[in-house]
Amino acid sequence: MENNQIIEADDSIVIEDQEGNETTHTVDAVIEMNGKNYVLYSAGDILSIKEIVYENEEQLLTDVPEEQVEELFNAYEKALEEES
């Protein structure tokens, strides 16, 4: 099944933590790597990354294994440099 990408750069997303607290973040980029989609988002000066997964036609954000985080941030920085 092909998934339509709904989250895009410059969107705002609301993330709810385990205690039910919601925070709004700005989407900085959506990266496709190795057949998976990732969203880089920020709130203030903090940049975070999650994998976009699809479950029952709904987009969910899941944690990225630590060993992949640096690789994804490097790809994002490289893309920014190429745009300049």
What pLDDT is recorded for position 4? 54
Residue pair 53/62 in contact by the 8 Å Cβ criterion: yes
Mean pLDDT across the chain, nearest whole number?
Answer: 86
Q: Residue ranges of the domains in the chain?
A: 12-83
Rounded Cα–Cα distance for residues 66 and 68 (Å) = 5
pTM of the full structure: 0.79
What pLDDT is recorded for position 10? 74
Q: Give Cβ neighbours of residue 13 (< 8 Å, ≥ 6 apart).
A: 7, 24, 25, 27, 39, 41, 61
Residue 54: alpha-carbon gap to chain centroid: 13
What pLDDT is recorded for position 5? 55
Instruction: Report which of 16, 65, 8, 17 is spatially closest to residue 39, judged by C-alpha positions.
Output: 8
